[in-house]
Structure 1
Amino acid sequence: MKQKVTAVFDIGKTNKKFFLFDKNFKEVHKEYTSFEEIEDEDGHPTENLPALKKWLKEVFDRILEKKEFNVKAINFSTYGASFVHIDENGKPLTPLYNYTKPLPESVVESFFEKYGPKEAFLKTTGCADLSMLNSGLQLFWLKQTKPEVFKKIKYSLHLPQYLSHVFTGIPLSEYTSIGCHTALWDYGEKDYHNWVYAEGIDKILPPIVSTETSINMNYNGNRIKIGVGIHDSSAALLPYVRSIRKKFVLISTGTWSIAFNPFTENPISTDTDDKDAINYMRINGKPVKASRLFLGNEYKIQVGKLKEVFGVDEDYHRTVKFDYDTYFEIMKDFKHCFKWESVTDDDMPAKTEMSYHKYEHAYHQLMIELTLLQIKCIKKAIGDDVILRLYVDGGFSDNDVYIKLLSHYFRDKKLRTTNASLGSALGAAISISDTKLNSKFLKKNYALKKHVPFIISG
């Protein structure tokens, strides 16, 4: 008997992964690859789209021929802020422009002359700043600077939907990709922003469907349900939304730590200067209020410096456990010691100054200061909503000092950590399944752990 499985391509900037999940969402097969980046016409590094497309087809066709698996469905999870512009024959017209590519200042200025003021626009569209990371601006840039290419665009597809299109030939849009800081969506109006219609860009954006949509197709002689794709951050959030009945905030940690509030009453932040308050969308188009912090990046920089100062091994920081006495010693006459390099904060000193002789002490100081930044970030995501549950996943979920501090500072909330290494891939599989998830799902699939605040003595 062949095993029934759901296939997922989970495409990151670096690693391209392929998974098969059984009916209980357990991983039964995994493979991955990576490609050297190629260059666009300006010499900027970009995704090797032809190699990616070839790999998708080869892997999937090979799996379909295997005797042990019966693939019933396939879906796609990818990074956001990326468009593939196709002509009437479905052929890409441009490279997949990298979201790190700078947009010409003149284009941004001319955009705001037409559709500003800037602060109001950013808040309305749930964006933090304007660059290629706001993929809608890429369409404005193409229309302004490459009109001959723009004229040939039949459809502009977000990357997850392009991968779906590779298999179905059907061009579609869905909420999670539109909602990830694209500058296309007006969160107040729940529709594309006026500028999209004014520039005629709505004509090249395919019809919007729910992220749960799938297309039943005959693919190489197999009846397969093909999903429309999902943005990876929203995919990672989905298993939580589907399995937890009470309101919560998810703190997804890594290079960026993003606090997601999927239960917001007020998606748009009132602080127009706050570059780190952004919006996403759930699979049904409901807004998610988010706040981001460059946590992992800053941690890496500062841990590198501590290594030099104290002459410890590269990985020594991973061994440090929370120490109650060290914490209280630091807090007795607490002052901020670290000058951040990739984060700005009003409390940081002009330069890093410490008088510690032990690595563990300095590390605790670092983690206290970073956790204080994290707390501000989480509070912004919560806003005025009443939320009593926090879930932490990603790289910092097993950092003992970080977790103990968070549970201490949020004593009034229930803190849980999960090990969601399959996060976005699993979310993509769940989004096209009819399975109802129950409260035990996270325990079974995500190594859910409860944390209680440490006891304050004295």
Structure 2
Amino acid sequence: MAKLPVTAIFDIGRTNKKFFLFNEQLKEVHQSYERFEPIPDEDGFPAEALQAMSEWMLTTFLDALKLEEFEIKALNFSTHGASFVHVDELGDPATPLYDYLKPCPEELLDRFYQENGGKMNFCRSTSSPPLAMLNSGLQLYFLKYAKPEKFKNIKHSFHLPQYVSFLFTGEKTSDFTSLGCHTGLWDFEKKDYHPWVDREGFRCLLPPIKSGKTVIRTKPELGNIPCGIGIHDSSAALLPYLKQESEPFVLLSTGTWAIAINPFNKSPLTKKELKRDCLQFLSVLGEPIKISRLFIGEEHKFQIEAMYAHFHLERGTYKKLTFDDAICQKVRAKSEKRIAFHYLKPGDFDLESAEKTDWASFENFEEAYYTFMNELTDLQLSSLNLVLEGSSVKQIFIDGGFNANPIFLEMLRKKLPELEIIPSDFPNGSALGAAMLINEAIKLNE
């Protein structure tokens, strides 16, 4: 019986670690996943269980090589970003895999920005809003000055996609999609590392930059199989849409964050845009891609819990709602703001907000929810406009959790009548994008 040729992909999220096999038509034919509890770093802050994850990846791949029905022809990786793995001379981790939410000392951040021309000038040149440890380059600065005993053991620093590729291949690489992801490392105008990287002596720690279409091979004991260098998951999720669509579009990828991605907008960032959480990524070939971010998933979760508590309703009630144009018109006709946002700051977009939620003004749960969605989509519209401005986009694809929310979709349609709003979803989109990338790369290298 002939074996089915497949592409293997590890898709490493913050919560779920997944392994996929895709057939030649890029249809999923096998999946497994694992979760690992965080382990405390030396300061007691939760960190990724790097050793356990690495062992699971290697064991899972070796087991897949033994499957009688499949023959693995290619391997690639997509992972969450803003995560550095620092290794010693032997290639072993020299520090924990620090969580990007780990606090960074304010005095250290202040000193860093003073040394680099001021916060907003630095952020504009690196297309990186000031996000502390979420700017992964600042993790190196933090280690050098706050943890010198650990820093002295670092020989190489990999972003997570390239570290897991290194595990399987032994090849040391950096890639554009990780470097261009609000790291504070890349000067978008000079198309090179920002001068501070050389001033601090960090360039020698960062492996050579390779195109995302580079093909290397796994170690002999892992099959000597064509392998990619890994890709940042948000960039990977965009690739299926780029493959499918011939006209300019925006992808609004929703979940914890709503990330609006416009791969056709190359305009430089302004300081005002940066303050509104607009930034640029780099594509697999190093081209800028404009994006904006909004923390809508957690805001939605917070407001829904407050509504359930106030109206004494069970969880999941909002999912039973269908779009009602009469309720929509009713809440849109009221000019006053009635929802007090918990995470989001409408003032950042020059929008008004309520100081506290006006519960007495709602007749029922439906009106409260529609009011929240109306005010939330006002914010989403402002965030979208940051990447729409100056481009010829006619379509917005919405994937992730909010693509199944009819009230969110219809309210956006009413506020953007000139654009086609299309709920869409590529299941396991970041894994699918990584599979597309390595298969295209192999064809180019044949």
TM-score range, shorter chain: over 0.9
Amino acid at match of 2:55: K
Paired with 1:387 and 1:270, the residues of 2 have a C-alpha distance of 24
- Verify the 8 A CA contact 1:108 1:130 in the aligned structure 2: no
Q: Who is 1:322 aligned against?
A: 323
- Verify the 8 A CA contact 1:77 1:160 in the aligned structure 2: yes
Q: Who is 2:160 aligned against?
A: 159
Q: Tell me by how many angstroms 1:380 deviates.
A: 0.8
| 1:102-113 paired onto structure 2 within 5 Å | 102-113=103-114
What secondary structure is seen at the aligned counterpart in 1 of 2:268? coil
In the alignment, is residue 411 of structure 1 matched against residue 417 of structure 2? Answer: yes
Q: Against the structure 1 CA distance between its residues 398 and 260, is the aligned structure 2 distance closer, same or farther, given a 3 Å change threshold? A: same
Paired with 1:222 and 1:345, the residues of 2 have a C-alpha distance of 53
- Percent identical among aligned pairs is 43
Q: Who is 2:120 aligned against?
A: 119
Amino acid at match of 2:10: F
Out of 303-312 and 76-85, give the one that drifted further. 303-312
Paired with 2:206 and 2:57, the residues of 1 have a C-alpha distance of 24
What secondary structure is seen at the aligned counterpart in 2 of 1:425? helix
Q: Tell me by how many angstroms 1:309 deviates.
A: 1.7
Q: Who is 1:43 aligned against?
A: 44
Q: Against the structure 1 CA distance between its residues 217 and 43, is the aligned structure 2 distance closer, same or farther, given a 3 Å change threshold? A: closer
What secondary structure is seen at the aligned counterpart in 2 of 1:391? strand
Amino acid at match of 1:180: C
Q: Who is 2:31 aligned against?
A: 30
What secondary structure is seen at the aligned counterpart in 1 of 2:272? coil
TM-score by length of 1: 0.92
Q: Tell me by how many angstroms 1:419 deviates.
A: 2.0
| 1:235-246 paired onto structure 2 within 5 Å | 235-246=236-247
Out of 409-418 and 221-230, give the one that drifted further. 221-230
Q: Tell me by how many angstroms 1:147 deviates.
A: 2.9
- From 416, 428, 449, give the equivalent of 2:434: 428
Q: Tell me by how many angstroms 1:239 deviates.
A: 1.1
Q: Tell me by how many angstroms 1:288 deviates.
A: 1.2
- From 380, 385, 391, give the equivalent of 1:385: 391
Q: Against the structure 1 CA distance between its residues 92 and 365, is the aligned structure 2 distance closer, same or farther, given a 3 Å change threshold? A: same
- From 357, 360, 365, give the equivalent of 1:359: 365
Paired with 2:61 and 2:232, the residues of 1 have a C-alpha distance of 21
Q: Tell me by how many angstroms 1:69 deviates.
A: 0.6
Q: Tell me by how many angstroms 1:117 deviates.
A: 1.1
What secondary structure is seen at the aligned counterpart in 2 of 1:434? helix
Q: Tell me by how many angstroms 1:258 deviates.
A: 0.8
Amino acid at match of 2:192: D
In the alignment, is residue 137 of structure 1 matched against residue 138 of structure 2? Answer: yes
Q: Against the structure 1 CA distance between its residues 260 and 51, is the aligned structure 2 distance closer, same or farther, given a 3 Å change threshold? A: same
| 1:204-219 paired onto structure 2 within 5 Å | 204-217=205-218, 219=220
Aligned Cα root-mean-square deviation (Å): 1.6
Paired with 1:256 and 1:177, the residues of 2 have a C-alpha distance of 18
Paired with 2:414 and 2:114, the residues of 1 have a C-alpha distance of 48
Q: Tell me by how many angstroms 1:151 deviates.
A: 2.9
Q: Tell me by how many angstroms 1:124 deviates.
A: 1.2
Amino acid at match of 2:162: Q
Q: Tell me by how many angstroms 1:217 deviates.
A: 4.3
- Verify the 8 A CA contact 2:127 2:274 in the aligned structure 1: no
Q: Who is 2:377 aligned against?
A: 371
Q: Who is 1:261 aligned against?
A: 262
- Verify the 8 A CA contact 2:248 2:395 in the aligned structure 1: yes
Matched positions, count: 436
Q: Against the structure 1 CA distance between its residues 349 and 153, is the aligned structure 2 distance closer, same or farther, given a 3 Å change threshold? A: same
Out of 102-111 and 19-28, give the one that drifted further. 102-111
Paired with 1:435 and 1:136, the residues of 2 have a C-alpha distance of 28
Q: Tell me by how many angstroms 1:138 deviates.
A: 0.8
* Structure 1 unaligned blocks of 5 or more: 437-458
- Verify the 8 A CA contact 1:187 1:268 in the aligned structure 2: no
Paired with 2:301 and 2:50, the residues of 1 have a C-alpha distance of 31
Higher helix share: 2
Paired with 2:273 and 2:372, the residues of 1 have a C-alpha distance of 29
Q: Who is 1:443 aligned against?
A: none
Amino acid at match of 2:158: L
Paired with 1:46 and 1:421, the residues of 2 have a C-alpha distance of 28
Q: Tell me by how many angstroms 1:359 deviates.
A: 1.6
Paired with 1:51 and 1:397, the residues of 2 have a C-alpha distance of 34
Q: Who is 1:66 aligned against?
A: 67
Paired with 1:74 and 1:162, the residues of 2 have a C-alpha distance of 14
Amino acid at match of 1:248: F
Paired with 2:218 and 2:103, the residues of 1 have a C-alpha distance of 40
In the alignment, is residue 349 of structure 1 matched against residue 350 of structure 2? Answer: no
Paired with 2:10 and 2:193, the residues of 1 have a C-alpha distance of 28
Paired with 2:245 and 2:45, the residues of 1 have a C-alpha distance of 43
Paired with 1:216 and 1:4, the residues of 2 have a C-alpha distance of 17
- Verify the 8 A CA contact 1:72 1:223 in the aligned structure 2: no
Q: Against the structure 1 CA distance between its residues 130 and 294, is the aligned structure 2 distance closer, same or farther, given a 3 Å change threshold? A: closer
- Verify the 8 A CA contact 2:22 2:28 in the aligned structure 1: yes
Paired with 2:395 and 2:332, the residues of 1 have a C-alpha distance of 26
TM-score by length of 2: 0.95
Q: Tell me by how many angstroms 1:349 deviates.
A: 1.4
Q: Residues 123-179 of structure 1, C-alpha deviation per residue, up to 9 Å, x if partnerless?
A: 111111141111101111112233343233221000110000001111100000001
Q: Who is 2:288 aligned against?
A: 287
Q: Tell me by how many angstroms 1:331 deviates.
A: 2.5
Q: Residues 21-41 of structure 1, C-alpha deviation per residue, up to 9 Å, x if partnerless?
A: 111111100111111111111
Paired with 2:222 and 2:43, the residues of 1 have a C-alpha distance of 42
Paired with 2:144 and 2:24, the residues of 1 have a C-alpha distance of 46
Q: Tell me by how many angstroms 1:421 deviates.
A: 3.2
- Verify the 8 A CA contact 1:260 1:291 in the aligned structure 2: yes
Q: Against the structure 1 CA distance between its residues 273 and 430, is the aligned structure 2 distance closer, same or farther, given a 3 Å change threshold? A: closer
Amino acid at match of 2:112: F
Q: Who is 1:440 aligned against?
A: none
Paired with 1:53 and 1:273, the residues of 2 have a C-alpha distance of 35
Paired with 2:105 and 2:29, the residues of 1 have a C-alpha distance of 46
Paired with 1:279 and 1:273, the residues of 2 have a C-alpha distance of 10
Q: Who is 2:102 aligned against?
A: 101
What secondary structure is seen at the aligned counterpart in 1 of 2:331? helix
Q: Tell me by how many angstroms 1:423 deviates.
A: 1.2
